[in-house]
Amino acid sequence: MLSQEPMEWPDEVEVLVDRLENESAGRDLTREERALMDVYETVPVLESEDCLHEFWQSGVDHQRVINSFDLVGAGGIVDPLNASQWCATRPEDRNDYSETEAEYLATIEEDLPAGMDELVDLVLAFIEEELE
């Protein structure tokens, strides 16, 4: 997904994330707060060169993160994440994929930019409805 500029979160999101990071040391985050954090923390992975492969090779709770994107209404990201679940069982190095696997993954990743483009607006609406 290197073709896109890195996501710039509005100050409202950055301030809330900073606050939640500080508060999470002293209390458990609500499901909605955790969803915001999951989305915020996962975006850089989805913007990376290895994109979906890196996501599936990371040690995060994949289903929780997918559910978090779903909770904020980001179906344009949920669908590619779900479609690429098979990456979790593949070699750690994306270069070890077969040609067919590599092409299939590239096809799935083509859908991500549209989902990423709408993510800031979805997150802002989610914050307004669920966290304020």
Domain boundaries, the chain: 34-131
* Separation between Cα atoms, residue 113 and residue 58, nearest integer Å: 21
Measured CA to CA in angstroms, residue 112 lies from 14, 51, 76, 126 at distances of 22, 9, 7, 20
- Per-residue pLDDT band for 2 (boundaries 50, 70, 90) equals very low
* Separation between Cα atoms, residue 40 and residue 35, nearest integer Å: 9
Both structure tokens of 92:
């750690």
Would you say residue 19 has pLDDT above 50? yes
* Separation between Cα atoms, residue 28 and residue 60, nearest integer Å: 17
Q: Would you state the pLDDT for residue 4?
A: 61
Q: Would you state the pLDDT for residue 74?
A: 96
